[in-house]
Every structure is written in C-alpha cells, then in structure tokens.
Structure 1
C-alpha cells in the first residue's frame, strides 16, 4: 500500500514578485560592474610606463578614479596591464 502525504491546506504563493525582484537585482549588479571603462595593453616596460602616464594625464585620478587595475610581467620585459576609469567626470 502506498502512503500519500496529506495535502497542505495552504496554497503555494505566486512567485512572480520574487522572480521580478531577482531579475532586477541581477540587472543592478550587471550595471555596477559595467560602470568603468577598461582598456588592456601589452607593451615593453618603458612604453607601458608612458601609456599609463598618458592615461593619468588625460583622465586625472581625482575626477575619473583612474587606476591600473591589474598588471603582469611577461617574458622579454613585456608588461600586460589593464587601465580603468569612469566614463566621464562629474
């Protein structure tokens, strides 16, 4: 004989509101990640240093939050790096 669980007296709530909130929060997170403009370079050490100086001169850190996001030293004295900044100054 197969036993069945008793039916709940409470119906399941609709999940549309929860789905909408999850979708909205995921979109908000996506927007936060995309606020910076990023550009990656792979240059010899001296050229990499000059490129970073150009970025800081063109997009001052105080206004654009310009920074070197990451960098790696590759064989042959090559520097691979990513610069990031805000798209515009307030």
Structure 2
C-alpha cells in the first residue's frame, strides 16, 4: 500500500490499477512519452490479510473480557488488534 485517502475512501496499492499517462515533450520532461503510474481503487475492494493464517479473510468484531472491541479473522479466529478502547458496559461481570 502506497497511499490512503480516507476522505475519498480510496487506496493506492503498488502494482495494482496501473495506467499510462501520455506526457508531451517539455523543458521539464524533454523525453516525453508514456509514464506508468498507479491510480487509486476503492477501499471496499481491498481485503485484510490475517497475520496468523496469511490469507485474505473477512473480519468480524467482538468484545473482550475487559470490554475492549477487537477485530478478528473469521477463518482462524485470531485477533488482529484492538479497534476501540475498553468500555465498562461491555466488560464481563465476574
């Protein structure tokens, strides 16, 4: 991943959605010709890769015992990091 534009919901990924921009000869670019560059794609078209199983997976959200919300892999069930800080109302009662 090269760049993320959260406002537009777009991501620029290396070697994905490459286009050719035709450039005219100028003082800045004396050679001219075709330049290859990556263009943005929607965030919804990108899959999260699980660190444990190494596959592109769907994700789910669950609450942990301390009330924090975490994202997890639906294939292997491994946690992929905390999404929200702990909240008392979601903590398990002992």
TM-score, normalising length: structure 2? 0.28
The structure with more helix, counted as a fraction of residues? 1
- Compare CA radii of gyration and give the structure with the larger one: 1
Q: Using CA pairs below 8 Å that are at least 6 residues apart, which structure has the higher relative contact order?
A: 1
TM-score, normalising length: structure 1? 0.29
